[in-house]
């Protein structure tokens, strides 16, 4: 059974940093690209970052302006998202999701999400 379990969410002050983790199981982690997608309270889904299966290439949403870094440790089956200079607008539920690519990219499995609240 594919499982993605996020952790590391917290209430943090504006300007601080936070690192999220996503532990994968039930599949060969190193074979899949992985993504972070967030959802602000009461809002829709917003893609924010992705990393290729070997970790060589990373992609980010333009709105992040270099504040977030996605990484992975294939030996630990873990995906990370390091977030710096956090702002109130970063408050959201953060999901990790597995990428499936055949005809196009899409997300076939999602974690349960982890809440990040940025507030003073």
- Interface with other proteins (CB under 8 A): 35, 44-47, 50, 59, 61-62, 95, 101-113
Residue 62 C-beta: closest distance to other proteins, Å: 8
Q: Which is closer to other proteins, CB of 16 or CB of 57?
A: 57
d(CA 116, CA 96): 13
Nearest to 48, CA basis, from 72, 32, 64, 33: 64
Residue 15 C-beta: closest distance to other proteins, Å: 26
Q: Which is closer to other proteins, CB of 9 or CB of 113?
A: 113
Q: Which is closer to other proteins, CB of 2 or CB of 14?
A: 2
């Amino acid at each position: 059974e594919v499982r993605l379990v996020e952790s590391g969410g917290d209430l943090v002050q504006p300007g601080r940093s936070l690192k999220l983790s996503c532990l994968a199981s039930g599949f060969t982690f190193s074979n899949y690209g992985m993504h972070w997608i967030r959802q602000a309270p009461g809002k829709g889904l917003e893609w924010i970052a992705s990393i290729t299966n070997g970790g060589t290439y990373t992609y980010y949403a333009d709105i992040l302006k270099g504040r977030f870094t996605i990484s992975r440790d294939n030996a630990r089956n873990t995906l990370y998202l390091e977030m710096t200079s956090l702002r109130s607008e970063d408050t959201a539920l953060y999901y990790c999701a597995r990428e499936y690519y055949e005809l196009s990219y899409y997300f076939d499995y999602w974690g349960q999400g982890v809440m990040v609240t940025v507030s003073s």
